[in-house]
Structure 1
């Protein structure tokens, strides 16, 4: 009787266990979708809370670890983003995304050499991602390795980054070359009758010896192939030919302003939101660009200081990028950083003439 009861219990458990696992997996999936939505909309604190719930159930679940790390990075929690990148590498192996996050975390903690090396690994894993080149270029630039920075800005530009194109033009004098309209199309060589060609060569070559068993006056014996009299190109000639075929142009002459490139103009547009908050916008003529809509902002803080956000605005006036700038900030409180990032993306500018303008938006906070 007892054996039969045990069998019933085991059978019931085996039937219920897959159902329970399925329910848990569905719950995890629902929480993950919610976390992804919060992550995409810049609500990083809430996103981290939901990613925590997912990771506690399954650390390998999709991109939960990496996205939690990126959320922490956005909130200037660089040690946390570094640990999440390392944990992702330990669990899933090294990926370009994990290496990129780890490299940026190193750089944000002033470990520039480690950041550059890790971003180099990310580029080796995915050399088609313009962001990796752009991030490494920023590190090189901060480390005064300007030639390497320019090379990376150029690579990012060639992969389609408008922000890198602006930096390449302003910092390095590098611009994309325009396709030549006067290029002569390559034609196939004319087909020549072989027998006719041989006869013609024999009739027009006065030095040919009619007796193959005798050496001519200027002929020599050789045990191998005779060296060609055509001079081989020197390194300088090879480099010159490569420069001609390159896709970029470096202009050393006096700078001529490109109409599609914003000037390095740091005019500041400052305006008051309320008695506790003033916002200042500057960089690449953004200080001169009219604002179409300012979002409602309510900041309650008990300390004075500033939260600085790096922003990029496209031609239509949409803020396409908003990232915390820890170097120019005096406040790094997570709640204030998260609010500043979210509100920066809600700004709308009037349509402009440049494809992209990047600068800073400073939230000057007066504590109560």
Structure 2
């Protein structure tokens, strides 16, 4: 059950308006290039009272989930703006229980309501462990959806207490993301997907980075797998990711990662690799995988669990140990299959993995 909280200041007949109606009003707001005057006009138009400190303004919405926050341009934002004084208005949508299942369900419910109001989001993905302007992200997962506009973009984001509806000027957030593509390990985390909506015309994509050690692969793969069931459940998607292992002569299929409401991983390593000793089991030991793989193909698999359940680091250690036993000598020998880059109409790049795609 959601907690009920928030200021009563600024309450109006619109205080508990449907989320879709609020989203339409935010999209239609005239932000006047995100000037102080523009933001005060937006607050007045929305019927929200301006308060808080100068460096952390709060807009009293009267909504049960809490008041909105304005983010002024500060030290971490100023390199990416072009005259804006603020880079976002964040409106809490719900305050579910802190566990991954509840958080993912609240995000998914908000997504469904917003999609009915605004249509299919043009961008989706996960911020990973580093959000816009270097913000830290929730441990359970960091999914986001965007309805991209030329001047302003609306984002549904996993906030620290629950999902948030965020209106932001388009250029600063995209400029920040694009400029993280410096090639250093972990410079970008998460994954990013865009569809063929005309709203994405002009959308730029940063360069990625490549893992230089198996320790880096273990960390990046562990972060990805640990949050994946919660993020796919929140976004309402299913990811099917083949991973190929180059062994010197060829690069056969090595793993199949499948994740919707649960994470299942199948292993296709050669017979001379002792998979039981490495931690793999059969369908008898992991019965949930029967809905993903047939009973005997692959023979070896593991059930990672649902939202909040995967032991990401342990799974990553098992996959890395298996890949090396199967003949992969360096991180570039573990290859994400191109099939994984097409997810429910989105072209997806898995920036946070640091692995080649082929």
TM tier, shorter chain? under 0.3
More RCO (CA 8 Å, sep 6+): 2
What TM-score do you get using the length of structure 2 for normalisation? Answer: 0.27
| Structure number with higher strand proportion | 2
| Structure number with higher helix proportion | 1
What TM-score do you get using the length of structure 1 for normalisation? Answer: 0.27
